[in-house]
Structure formats: structure tokens, C-alpha cells
Chain A
Amino acid sequence: MDPPRDMPTVAFTRQDGSRYTLGPAEGRPLVVFFGYTHCPDVCPTTLADWKRAKAELGDKAARVRWVFVTVDPDRDSVSVAERYARQYDSTFVGLSGDAPTTAKVMEAYGVAAAREDGTPGSGYLVSHSSQVFLLDGAGKLVALYPFGTRWEALAADLAQLL
């Protein structure tokens, strides 16, 4: 991303009542993905890739904020989103906003999502933007990774930021 782009700050409420802010945090890069927990393929693949990238980075990865944001808050409660992200790594953060917060963060990141017909078994499906966003500690968007990008690319870029 050249030049890096300033991103709006968006705050979420977590299950314990605390606030989690997607925004600048000195020295702490932010990795963000938008998906939904009923997603059996693309979202798990992305979070599993983050787990590999985190392992590759070793101790330095402790400074990275890894955040999954649901685009399906009607089905993904705050606790469901948190638990979903934690399945992959105890430090991964899962966020579910109320409708205005979800709309705000999707607009801020230019993320789209749309319900599509599923089956009686699956319920509705959700098409959604599938890039991973990388922000530096100053809260500037520095890279976008389309789905399918090797996780090593994210790890290498993070290593440069840390």
C-alpha cells in the first residue's frame, strides 16, 4: 500500500464489557479479517494461516493484534465471535459489533457482505470480502492480502513492522 492509508478508529464491546479498539497502538501492528463463523472454508483457512504466520514470527508475534470481525452479527454473538477466534490461538481476538458498529467498520475498511441462499441445513450463506488487512502501529493500512496469498507473505511483512 503506497502510500499507507489512514484508517478510521472503530471501537467494539467485548463479552466482559471492555472496549476493543481497532486503531493505532504504538508498536503493535494490526491484522484484520472480516468473515462469519458459519463459514466452513475460507474463514478457517485464513485464521489457520495466521496461526502459522504467528508461529513463524516467534516471540515477536506477541506484539501483533490478530482480529477477526464478523460480518454476520445476527448469528455471531460477541461470545461466539470471541470463542471462534480463540480456537485458533488464545491471543486471536474475535469481535461482533451491533448493527451500527458493524456498518461503520465495514465502511471504514471497504468491506462488503451479502446474504445468499443456502440450504435448510446450512441456513443462509454469506458472501464477503476476503482480504486480510495489515495496519501498522500508527493505524495506517500498509498491505492487503487477497484470499489465497501465502501466509509467508504476511509473516514477512509483519517481521518488517516489528
Chain B
Amino acid sequence: MADTSLRTDLRKVDLSAIRDELRRLWASEALRDEAVMRARTHNLVVYTDVRRHHVDDIVQFIIEITSARPGRVILIHCDLEAEDRVEGWVTVYCQQQNQAQVCGEMVVFDVGGRLGDEIHSTVVSLLAPDLPVYLWWMQRPEPDDHLFETLSAEAARLIVDSDFFPAPRHDFPALADLDAPPLVDLAWGKLAPWRDAVAQFWEIPELREHLPCVQGMEIRYHADRLLTGDTRALLLVGWMADRLGWEFLHAERSPEGGYGTRWMIAGCEAGIDVLPAAGVEGDLPPGEIASIQITVGEEPPFSTSRIEFIPQRHWLSIALHGEPTEAAMRGYTFHPVDARRALAEELVSGYDSLYPKALRQVAAVFRSLNRS
């Protein structure tokens, strides 16, 4: 098990002395307990404009997330309504995982007022050379924002988490139109085991031949009290639509929350519904998918299969009913992916080019809803 005791004490430092302070911190760590930073694989630049009293939580969250991936993190906290100011802090931290020690370093800028536009050159000067830059924009990125524009020019990837977009109907189309570095969505990363499950489902030989002619689907997701949390399920639909060549027709808001969407699949119109799950037990966060029901067949009687996550058992159950298959139950161990794991995966994996294609499909759904 990893030792999660992290040294996260931030030291306030003059901006011009950040590099020296980092060097000094590493040297003192080395004298103390041989905690020498032996590897660095990336720069992670994080932007947030949350209220100031939340910054400590964000620092801790990012250190926990990145402690398994050695690199330099630069966190920029901007408060546009505050008076003009720039303050800097630095810290180094190490995590012991069995025999391996993974170390990271973080620079935090607390920026007030108009100086947010001026901080980019300081940030760029502190990037570790010759390593990729990941820019994690914790809000919806605004293309006209000067800081976003300058930092994204340095970035190899732009990371967002669409689970936290406040207005998906507008945010997704805007994201799809964004002229930015290759886009990474942590919500997409959280969806990975479900994409695996759906792909795996079609490995069942007697179902494979029906893959081109899906008759309908119903995806249930965990919703919060406001019935939000539907966008990850829509991304799953967008991914299937892109991979299987479905043509989007139209969409409407469902009275119970979620959406009903219509697609042209193999020359036939099919309904794909994205709906909140009713009475789901467990403490899963909003957005997590609960079940997928898939109806296939050339002609009636159709076969309906159900993939369902049972949180108490960490189990994904697959039930096949009726023609062309006889009733059968299958399943395997299933672990949902959280933001921490999604980001950790992102920092070591190659770019997933399927995401922008799925995003375009989801944007089309929202544009249709916005028109109606």
C-alpha cells in the first residue's frame, strides 16, 4: 500500500526566487531523508478561479492526484474581483509506494485583479524544459481569455472535466468548437470501463452480428437532486454513434430528466434514451452510469440485454434475454474510475483521439435541444 502521508506545507516565496527555493527544498529533503527527486515526466499547469478559501483543498487534491506521477505542478488561482496582487508559494512532496519513491513539486500562484493577464510569462518561465505541458482548466475554457490563450499555446494537451460544466447545453457545443490543443475530458476517462464493458458485450459471438442494427438503447445514470449528471451517458452514446456510423436525427428533454434521442441506424430509426436511474443504492457520484439496456435483432421478437453495475458487489452483471440468445447471466468485477485515476491515466497514456469525435456527436445533440 502506498504511504499517503505527504509533506504539503507551502512556503511563501518571492516570485523571482521560486527556482532557488525549489532547489533549496530538494537539497534539504535530500539531507533529511534522502528524498531526492529522481524523475520528472511532465508539467501540469492547473487553472482555477474558485473562492480563495477552497484553494487549500484544491492544493491537497492535486497533490494526491499527482503524487503517483512525478512532475512539476503549477497551480494558478485567479480572483478577478480582488485587488491586483501576485503571490507565490512552493512545496515539494514525496510518496512512498513499496520500494519506489515518487516525488513532485508544486508552485502556487495566487493572483488578484487584472494581473491574471500578466502571469503567463512567469508560469512559462517555470516550466520544466523539454517535457510535455498539460493544461488543466478547471472551469469551462473561454477562448477569448488572454491567460487561457497564452497558456494553451504552450500545452500539449488541454484537460477539462465536463462533469463540472454548469450549463452542458451551451458548454459542450462551445467545447467542440474550441480551437485548442488536443482535448482531454476527465469525464471521458471516467467512462473508460463502461466503454470497455460495451465493447466487451459485443464480443459475445451470437450478438456480434447484430451490432450494425441496434434497435434501441436505454442508459440509466446516477443523478443528483437536480437530475443532472447526464452528460457522461451522452458521451457514451456519442462514442457509439461515431464508431458505428449512426446518424443523429433529433433529441428532446425527457420529463423525468435526461434525454430521448433518435438516430438513424442501418436505415432504421432507433431511440437511444438517457435517463436518471431510479432508486439506485450505493454512494456513487452523479454521472456514474448505472445500467445499459440494449435491444438488437433484425426483426421481432428482438433480443434485449442488460448491463448493470451492482456497486455493493463491485460487479458488472450482463443479462441476455430472448432471441437470438437464450436467457443467460454473465458478469465480472468492475471498478468505476474517479477523477484521480482518470488524470493519472491521462498523464501516462497516449492521446485518445476518439474523444473529440464523441464530443462532436454530443454537441450535435445539445445544439438540437437548444433549437427546440
Q: Do A and B come from one complex?
A: no
